[in-house]
Chains A and B, each alone.
Chain A
């Protein structure tokens, strides 16, 4: 059955009627233990005791674990311009289904998000959608052309949470310098896609043994390293805030580690794909393994894991890049780069990183929670009495099989088709509103008469 048929738009909102969540466990960050804790949500706030005189809608979540606010800082929502692949509504719903209560969307739309009107359009669409909250990133340069700075103050006032020409690096160092300098006034980060386009050329996979075997043009690690080194130098010059997108190279991990040691305001993210897959997967010319930056070697993957563990890589971000089946069903070198990630990220982290003991759950949750929040200057509080009701209930033991029918995203270009994964999102709350509920979670509507 197609998951899209389960779509529900904010049927339950704690601002209309309190919610009662029974039987779930929360992680006590002090002891690291799971404690059972019934929760009530009233007007967007968490209560640990049942508020007086309320008639809540009851959700039975026995065995589920509550994770506080998960944020994905790298998502392509494709609207406006490429609505056949994704819309703000389907992307925001896919995010909620993946357990995220907020996402940052990239501005490589058509038209690109480089003026206030387009930002407002995206924010309105998100408001209407009722899925995860959407924080837009706006372009660094007008038209993403890398030539002139976008009107950053105006964009910030309209709701931009950072600036990115994602997909197209700012090749001109002078312009990148000015972007880092100017954005300081708004206190917003420059979110950089680090790739030397000359060195990358028409490459479409990692330059190495597999590319050689399959005869595909490679992109060396150094296409990333060089730009990361340049931008770190520019941060040293300007004091601007730099967030490095989708790190793929082992050398970049080391560059970021050094920059942090130096005390520079640099953060970085890594995708679940780069943490669990390598370039060996391209051998069958499956375009669902064609991403930018490309999947690299095992030594890179291990360095990324190490970077995640020691905090060099702050965030896990999906780089959710939906493309239609038609766009991907072409010759490998002609296919667009990118794979979806919103609905698989958490499950992949649980199945391939946490469950085998490679990465502690706490590390994954920090990379999906407080660290992204810090990047955005957003508040982030653990699940506690009085905190905003932004959290997710996950059934960690339930498994599901990824298939093209699993997704509420409009696109199914996942690297993980066919995989059996652990972790199903039962409920995602955004500001006390139910943004996603699994079909298995049937609320019990207590009758007002009985309660009174």
Chain B
């Protein structure tokens, strides 16, 4: 998070572990708001958030919208289908126009890596990266470590396996940064064609065998495999992927007995995650979704200038 002229959340790579822990602590307060009968605080009253989604998204967009509503922000929504993008307007022009309408936050989902960094340079509003290309998805990374911390009480010292398409996954990158900064041991696992060059330099180990990666794992985060990887010859077939890399109950036997099973969604049941694992009692996939709203509330709150662990209107909560 940049602390100079304005605050953005562009990636987790540039956050310190202290900043990450701060956000997780605020998330806990926000989680309490969500669990109350009246799920709303006035922390962002009078603030406006523009949700700019240049890629289809259901879960992340709804999660941000809900987070904004619960903080009493006004939101406007924009997606490629109903916008001037079809008329050939550049991203720079679009965001400058939207900013001219007086928004305080821009939440951006975009297919190009670095798009959020680019927009952050162009506008004065605080920019939140809601996923940029194959770079990062920082709020997903935060909600994943929050969920781990909530369920297992800590992150440091845990063994976390991330299984799937590491090369094209922004979730993987944000998870790697958050987890390694908080002291977890991370192993990434996938076919050689889906492991990016020199990924070890991000502080992880690499495996091409699921059983090896899952050995003693406290957490397994299963990433979505996309059909389009077949077209670029990165995989021979989804069937072959499933046979070699699908996380199944059988393969999970080498993991820690209480292993947390995570997936950022949407799941391809029977491809990267076996049907029985998708229904396994140890999976926390819906907790991730719930925590996603709280994390996004915490991020918005922090970027708006809130510092303390107890946001405005939350005094009675803790």
Chain A residues packing against B (C-beta within 8 Å): 201, 207-209, 211-218, 220, 284-285, 326, 329-334
Contact = CB atoms under 8 A, between A and B. Distances in A.
A213 B133 contact: no
Shortest Cβ-Cβ A-B pairs, 6 listed: A215-B135, A285-B114, A331-B112, A209-B198, A215-B134, A215-B113
A282 B110 CA distance: 19
B202 interface: yes
B156 interface: no
A336 to B, nearest CB: 14
Interface residues of B, number: 25
B113 A209 contact: no
Interface in B135-177: 135-136, 170, 173
Contact of A331 (B114, B170, B201, B202): B114
Of A214, A215, A284, A334, the most chain B CB neighbours within 10 A belong to A215
Of B110, B115, B197, the most chain A CB neighbours within 10 A belong to B197
Nearest to A217: B134
B105 to A, nearest CB: 20
Contacts of B117: 284-285
B90 interface: yes
A331 B196 contact: no
A384 B296 CA distance: 73
Nearest to B112: A331
Nearest to A215: B135
Nearest to B134: A215
Contact of B196 (A201, A211, A284): A211
Nearest to A206: B197
Given A211-B196, A214-B135, A218-B197, A329 B92 contact: yes
Interface in B191-218: 196-199, 201-202
Contacts of A284: 117
A209 B232 CA distance: 22
A213 B113 contact: no
Given A329-B92, A330-B92, A214 B114 contact: yes
B92 A212 contact: no
A299 to B, nearest CB: 13
B197 A213 contact: no
Given A213-B173, A333-B112, 14 more contacts: A208-B197, A209-B198, A212-B196, A212-B201, A214-B113, A214-B135, A215-B114, A215-B135, A215-B136, A216-B114, A218-B196, A329-B90, A332-B113, A333-B113
Given A329-B92, A331-B91, A212 B198 contact: yes
Contacts of A216: 113-114, 133-135
B217 to A, nearest CB: 23
Contact of B115 (A201, A207, A326, A331): A331
A209 B13 CA distance: 14
B13 to A, nearest CB: 7
B314 to A, nearest CB: 35
18 contacts: A207-B197, A208-B197, A209-B201, A212-B196, A212-B197, A213-B13, A214-B135, A215-B173, A216-B134, A217-B134, A218-B197, A285-B114, A329-B92, A330-B90, A331-B112, A332-B112, A333-B113, A333-B133
B198 A208 contact: yes
B113 to A, nearest CB: 4
B118 A285 contact: yes
Contacts of B91: 330-331
Interface in B22-45: none
Contacts of A329: 90, 92
A212 to B, nearest CB: 4
Contacts of A212: 196-199, 201-202
B132 interface: yes
A215 B197 contact: no
Nearest to B168: A215
Of A201, A214, A218, A334, the most chain B CB neighbours within 10 A belong to A214
B297 to A, nearest CB: 26
Given A284-B117, A329-B90, A331-B115, A211 B110 contact: no
A388 B112 CA distance: 53
Nearest to A329: B92
A329 B110 CA distance: 16
Contacts of A332: 112-114, 118
A284 B135 CA distance: 12
Contacts of A285: 113-114, 117-118
Nearest to B172: A215
